[in-house]
Amino acid sequence: MSQRRKFIKKSLLGSAVFLPGVASAFNVPATGKQAIGEKPIILSTWNHGLPANADAWAKLEDTGSILDAVEAGVKNTELDLTNLSVGLQGLPDREGIATLDASIMTGDGSCGSVAFVRQIKHPISLARAVMEKTPHVMIVGEGARQFAIAQGFPLEEEKLSPNAQKAYDKWKVNSQYKPIINIENHDTIGMIGLDANGKLAGSCTTSGLAYKMHGRVGDSPIIGAGLYVDDEVGAATATGLGESIIRICGSFLIVELMRQGRTPQEACEEAVRRLISKNKDIKDIQAGFLAINKEGETGAYAVHPGFNFAKATNSGNVLIDSGSHFKKQ
C-alpha cells in the first residue's frame, strides 16, 4: 500500500469517530469482496471517493434519502482544494476559465444536469435544481448561470485557485493539448448508491478536461454517458476522457447490459472493450466505469491500470484498485 493510501485510510479512521454507523467500516481490508445483497452501498471514483462516501453515508443516515446522499457526497469533492479536476478550483479551459459539468439521476428516470457553467461552487446542486424545479433535463452555459441566480445560488468570483493558476501559467508556455492519463486523485467524481430499500441514485461532477476548448462539454453531464440509473436494473458512472465515453453511451450501455443479464463486472468489462473498439489512439485514452446492480453486486473496470474507487457498505469504506483491459507493463 502506498504511503498516500495509508494516509487516506488513517485520516478517514479519524473522521469515522464523527460518523456513527461508518466507524466500524474503516478496519475492513480492501479485498473488494462483498456479500451479495449488501445494502446500502455507495461507490465512487478515485481516492477522493473515500471522504465523499463518508459524507454521503452520513447524509443517508441523516435523511434516509439516497438522492440527498449522492448530492452531499460529491459536494465534498467540489470543495476539495487539492482536487484539480472537480469544482471551481479545477484546471481551466484554454482561455483560463473554469467551466463545470454535473449531472444527477434517480432510478425512476428523474434527472438533471448542467454543463459549461461558470462561477457556481456546487454544480451538482444546480443539476438537482434543474431536475426538481424545471421541466428540463439539461441547462448549459449562461442559461445555467442565470437559472442559478434565479434559484439563489451565490456567484463566486471568477478567479483561478492558486494551484490551477500555477498549472495554467506553466501550460501556457507551450499551450499543448495533451490529455494525461492515470493521475490518481485528479479526476472526475462519479458516485452511485443503492439504499436498503433498493432505491438507486447517482451523481457526477467535474471541471472536465484541463485546457479544453472553451465550450467543450464532456460525458459527465450527459445522461447515459457519464451517469445512468434505473431502479429496475442498476446504476453506472464513468470517469476519464469524456469523448471516448460519449461515443459509446458508456453508462447507459452498462445498465442495458445488466438488464440483459450481465453482472456489473461483466458489463463494465464489455463497455471497456466497446470503448477500445470505437476509439483510436487508445494508448492515450483512460476511461473507467463503476456499476451496481439492484441486488447490490458491484463492478469496476478501466482501459489502463491506475483507476481506483471507494466502496462504502455497513462493513467498510475502502479504496479498491480496479482491474483494467491493458495490464501493467
Chain residues in the site for ligand SD4 (CB under 6 A)? 85, 187-188, 206, 208-209, 218-220, 239-242
Task: Find the catalytic residue in 45, 77, 99, 188.
Answer: 188
Min separation Cβ 147 and ligand SD4, Å: 21
The Cα–Cα gap between 220 and 208 comes to 8
Nearer to ligand SD4, 73 or 240 (CB): 240
Residues 6 or more apart whose Cβ sits within 8 Å of residue 26: 9, 12, 13, 16, 316, 317, 318
Contact (CB, 8 A) for 282 and 243:
no
Nearer to ligand SD4, 42 or 86 (CB): 86
Q: Is 134 annotated as catalytic?
A: no
Residue whose C-alpha is closest to residue 171's, from 118, 218, 217, 209? 209
Min separation Cβ 120 and ligand SD4, Å: 16
Min separation Cβ 238 and ligand SD4, Å: 7
Contact (CB, 8 A) for 278 and 247:
yes
Cα separation values, 261 from 48, 87, 233, 267, Å: 31, 36, 9, 9
Nearer to ligand SD4, 112 or 250 (CB): 250
Min separation Cβ 92 and ligand SD4, Å: 13
Strand (E) or helix (H) holding 142: helix 141-150
Neighbours of 260 (CB within 10 A): 8
Is 165 buried (19+), middle (13-18) or exposed (0-12) by CB count in 10 A? middle
Nearer to ligand SD4, 34 or 185 (CB): 185
Catalytic sites, residue numbers: 188
